[in-house]
């Protein structure tokens, strides 16, 4: 994904409270429950941290990490 690394770095650097607050305000405007928005924000931030922590810096699907280390593809 072009620019993905920079996007992940920005997302991972945003304090969770700030990201959740902004997302919650947007979610409220769209009618999304605040707890759902909070869970989505945390999931995206966790995925960003995982992507930044990969050895080669590639964007990876978080569900593939276990298979990668066990030798499965």
Domain count, the chain: 1
Per-block mean pLDDT, blocks of 10 residues, the chain (73 long): 57 67 77 81 79 60 48 45
Q: List, as one string, the DSSP characters of 3-27.
A: THHHHHHHHHHS-HHHHHHHHHHHH
DSSP letter at 56 equals T
Quote the pLDDT of residue 31.
85
Quote the pLDDT of residue 53.
72
Q: How far is CA 68 from CA 36, 43, 49, 61, in A?
A: 30, 20, 17, 11
Quote the pLDDT of residue 1.
40
Quote the pLDDT of residue 42.
81
Domain that holds residue 36: 4-70
């Amino acid at each position: 994904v072009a620019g993905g690394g920079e996007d992940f770095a920005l997302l991972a650097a945003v304090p969770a409270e700030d990201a959740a607050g902004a997302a919650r305000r947007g979610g409220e405007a769209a009618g999304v429950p605040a707890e759902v928005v909070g869970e989505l924000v945390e999931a995206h931030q966790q995925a960003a941290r995982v992507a930044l922590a990969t050895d080669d810096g590639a964007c990876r699907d978080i569900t593939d990490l276990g298979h990668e280390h066990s030798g499965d593809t």
